[in-house]
């Protein structure tokens, strides 16, 4: 095996392990009591029940597609990689399920940094699909990694209460 192939396989293995960790963390924790949320936490988003419900559905959809994406990329199933990437890129459950009033409220309460992180994440999914169309495993793997970094960065800042592993993490700005 070439060094490039070994690097790609090792990268995919790391992403699979990371994705399994994220899935375990996301799937095994219920949201904590709002009493546990610190009022001086500067990155707390006060979701309405309808936006929170839609967001959770969207995150589950993204998580399912991400899990399949990791497996499909590792196997070179390019058409499935493209489909999974497009599903993530166009995950708009929030827009589909929320009323105009809820959407206006959502845009009012979301910090600009959250919107930027979300936009970058969905952009990486689209770029991953384009790399898959070109059957460029190395580039696709890079974008898969950037997507994982995006998840971790966002969850460290905005979902500390949902993921115990991030609840004691001091905010670090490690974005690419």
Angle between helices 112-133 and 137-158 (to 10 degrees): 160
Does position 85 have pLDDT exceeding 90, yes or no? yes
Task: Tell me, yes or no, if the pTM score tops 0.75.
Answer: no
Residue 84 above 90 pLDDT?
A: yes
Which domains, from first to last, does the chain contain? Answer: 45-167 (1.20.120.10)
pLDDT given at position 162: 84
Q: Report the alpha-carbon distance of residue 133 to residue 93 in Å, rounded.
A: 25
pLDDT in tens, 18-30: 555 555 554 544 4
């Amino acid at each position: 095996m070439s060094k490039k192939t070994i690097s790609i396989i090792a990268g995919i293995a790391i992403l699979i392990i990371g994705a399994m960790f994220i899935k375990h963390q996301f799937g095994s924790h219920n949201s904590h009591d709002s009493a546990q949320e610190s009022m001086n936490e500067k990155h707390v988003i006060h979701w309405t029940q309808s936006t929170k419900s839609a967001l959770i559905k969207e995150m589950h959809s993204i998580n399912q597609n991400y899990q399949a994406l990791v497996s499909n990329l590792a196997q070179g199933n390019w058409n499935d990689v493209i489909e999974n990437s497009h599903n993530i890129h166009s995950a708009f459950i929030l827009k589909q399920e929320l009323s105009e009033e809820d959407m206006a409220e959502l845009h009012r309460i979301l910090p600009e940094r959250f919107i930027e992180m979300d936009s970058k994440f969905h952009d990486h999914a689209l770029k991953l699909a384009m790399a898959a169309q070109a059957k460029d495993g190395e580039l696709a793997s890079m974008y898969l990694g950037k997507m994982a970094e995006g998840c971790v960065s966002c969850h460290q800042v905005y979902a500390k209460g949902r993921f115990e592993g991030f609840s004691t993490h001091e905010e670090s700005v490690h974005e690419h």
